[in-house]
Structure 1
Amino acid sequence: MEKDKPKGRRPKRTKAQIDDCINQAAVAEIIEKGFSDTILYGIIKRAKIEPVVFYNRYKSLELFYDEFVKSKDYWFENLLKEIDEPQLSREELTKILVSLIDVLDKDSVMLELLRWEVASENPTTRRSAALREFHTLPLAKDYENLFKNTEVDMLSLSALVIGGIYYLELHKNLSPFSGIDLKTEEGRQRIKDAIRAFVGILFDLKDEKLRHERMRGRMKEKGLSDADIEYCLNLKD
């Protein structure tokens, strides 16, 4: 009778493969339990590695998170890579805001990161929030400058819209909000349509302001008085 052959060792994994296993294990644990309730043992067990293998790379779970979140949060930076030259247009702003809904719907880790930031203040969450601000603020200021001669406060309005999207996504598993269920395609589409309409209103206001300024200049050239210009443009009661 042929003797049973000894079980072979698991093929040795490369450094890159081990790193990938750790990251995949972390994703699975975080989606299942959230950042706050994920423990190092769970990641190590799921990745099928010895503790020493993890500690050879990271001194603690917190230091691992510092690196991990950098690759999971920058939807905005990735989106900008798809845009050759920012156009500062209604189409571009709509695409940015609508894409955030799609990203949060597909990327549960980013959503859990936002949940963790709201629930827990620690060096990692503070750093993550600060880096997100660092990446998004420059373009937000470009849009603020685009609307500088209007009554539209783009920084405040963009904060309200993005913050609203964050909250709706975090809230969606609890109940519908204002009768809109973001767990459904119909609900997500309603919010996207509202964003398109809102951005359209803002740009229409800007365009109307510019149109009035051009008309004012032409009336000046024709010798109309300021009072007549104001009357014609209906800028005063």
Structure 2
Amino acid sequence: MAKLRSEQQIKKKVRKVVDGPIKSAEKTKKKILLSVGKLFSKEGYTGLNVTRIAGEAGINPRMIYHYFGSFDNLLRTYFGEKDFWDPFYNKLIANLLNNNRPLDADDIFAILHGQFDAILYNKEFQRAIHWDISEKSDVIRKISDEREHVGKRLFEQTEDRFKNTDIDLPASLALQIAGIYYLGLHAKINGSTFCGIDINTGEGRSRVENALKKIIEDLYKGKSI
């Protein structure tokens, strides 16, 4: 019995010795990734460098290379794990893809409304879109490619609905989404109006949302933009 108790104590000590460094490493990696998010949210991609991230995390800059190998790999890890969408929007997209049916006007509006909310209220998403159009980067390109892949699948589910018509749904939505992104960035960066509309106000947001809904309804009624 004494021998069995002794073996159990030894195993417990070994487990503690092993768990300690592992937990410490995971904690440090998490702290580094959180620091990337904080700086990116506050300053965008221009605020991201090894020195700034290490300072935010309160660690030696060499730790970043120790845990991630390189600065680029750190960014790939962060943005590869980052989810810019809220749970409701993710559930919406997952359901639309899993149902594998043509999208109706309400589905399209829900997708655009989710994009509109993200560009207005998600600081990191605003920064990501700004980075995407400001500088060529393999890191941010991957996010764009993933977004395009999802969009392509959704369009394929709906393309038969507009066959033999003069309506180009992808092109029409591209104009609307680009407009949403620009309006959002313009409002949040400059804080000014666009075409007399201030989307930082409830009234301004409602006007844009109503216009989006009307355009989509007209497309489904067979009217081109």
Could you say which residue in structure 2 is the equivalent of 1:136? 151
RMSD across aligned positions (CA): 2.4
Could you say which residue in structure 2 is the equivalent of 1:184? 201
Q: Determine what percentage of the aligned residue pairs are the same residue.
A: 26
Would you say 1:85 and 2:95 are equivalent positions?
Answer: no
Could you say which residue in structure 2 is the equivalent of 1:200? 217
Match among 111, 115, 118 for residue 133 of structure 2: 118
Could you say which residue in structure 2 is the equivalent of 1:53? 63
When the two structures are superposed, what TM-score results if normalisation uses the length of structure 2? 0.76
Could you say which residue in structure 1 is the equivalent of 2:9? none
Query: Unaligned stretches of 5+ in structure 2?
Result: 1-19
Query: 1:78 and 1:110 mapped to 2: Cα distance?
Result: 18
Match among 20, 32, 53 for residue 22 of structure 1: 32
Report the CA distance between 1:143 and its aligned residue. Answer: 2.5
Structure having the higher helix fraction is 2
Query: 2:218 and 2:43 mapped to 1: Cα distance?
Result: 41
C-alpha offsets along residues 88-128 of structure 1, whole Å, 9 cap, x if unaligned?
Answer: 11111110011111122222111111111111113223333
Alpha carbons 1:140, 1:155 under 8 Å: kept: yes
Over alpha carbons, which structure has the higher Rg? Answer: 1
Aligned-partner SS, 1:178: coil
Report the CA distance between 1:170 and its aligned residue. Answer: 1.5
C-alpha offsets along residues 129-176 of structure 1, whole Å, 9 cap, x if unaligned?
Answer: 223212221112323332113221001101111111111111113221
Query: Unaligned stretches of 5+ in structure 1?
Result: 1-10, 207-237
Aligned-partner SS, 1:121: coil
Match among 26, 34, 43 for residue 44 of structure 2: 34
Query: 2:82 and 2:95 mapped to 1: Cα distance?
Result: 17
Write the mapping of 1:158-237 to structure 2, written as runs, cut at 5 A. Answer: 158-172=173-187, 173-174=189-190, 175-205=192-222
Query: 1:105 and 1:64 mapped to 2: Cα distance?
Result: 27
Report the CA distance between 1:82 and its aligned residue. Answer: 5.0
Alpha carbons 2:109, 2:216 under 8 Å: kept: yes
Aligned CA distance change for structure 1 residues 85 and 151 (closer, same or farther; 3 Å): same
Aligned CA distance change for structure 1 residues 55 and 18 (closer, same or farther; 3 Å): same
Aligned CA distance change for structure 1 residues 60 and 183 (closer, same or farther; 3 Å): farther
Could you say which residue in structure 2 is the equivalent of 1:145? 160
Query: 2:69 and 2:144 mapped to 1: Cα distance?
Result: 23
Aligned-partner SS, 1:205: coil
When the two structures are superposed, what TM-score results if normalisation uses the length of structure 1? 0.73
